[in-house]
Amino acid sequence: MPLKAILEIGFADEAEAKLAIRSLGAGMKTRRSSVGYSLTGAALVVCVEAADFTALRAAATSALRDLRVVIDSISVAKARGKGR
């Protein structure tokens, strides 16, 4: 796969980053692209590889959409926890 995009998303602490990677799972693989996740301290690293630009964009968009759901869920959980 000739194209690769690496995104690094910082979290408040390592516990939040671990929660995010557990929520996202192992990633995904199709015949044209793959997405993988790893941790570097309090940062989640997203690695997207694809055969062409269209597949790279589609896979990155899907990964970011999934990540947005996870980040929003963590924010809601934190807000509810602080309100108690």
Domain containing residue 79:
3-83
Question: Using the 8-state DSSP alphabet, how is residue 27 labeled?
Answer: -
26 contact partners, CB below 8 Å, separation of at least 6? 36, 37
Chain segment 14-62, per-residue pLDDT in tens? 999 999 999 999 899 999 999 999 999 999 999 999 999 999 999 999 9
Tell me how far CA of residue 30 lies from CA of 38, 50, 83, in angstroms.
19, 9, 42
Number of domains in the chain: 1
Q: What is the CATH number of the domain that holds 19?
A: 3.30.310.50
**Greater model confidence, 34 or 83:** 34
If you ran DSSP here, which 8-state letter would residue 11 be given? Answer: -
What stretches of 1-84 show up as alpha helix (H) in DSSP? 14-24, 53-83
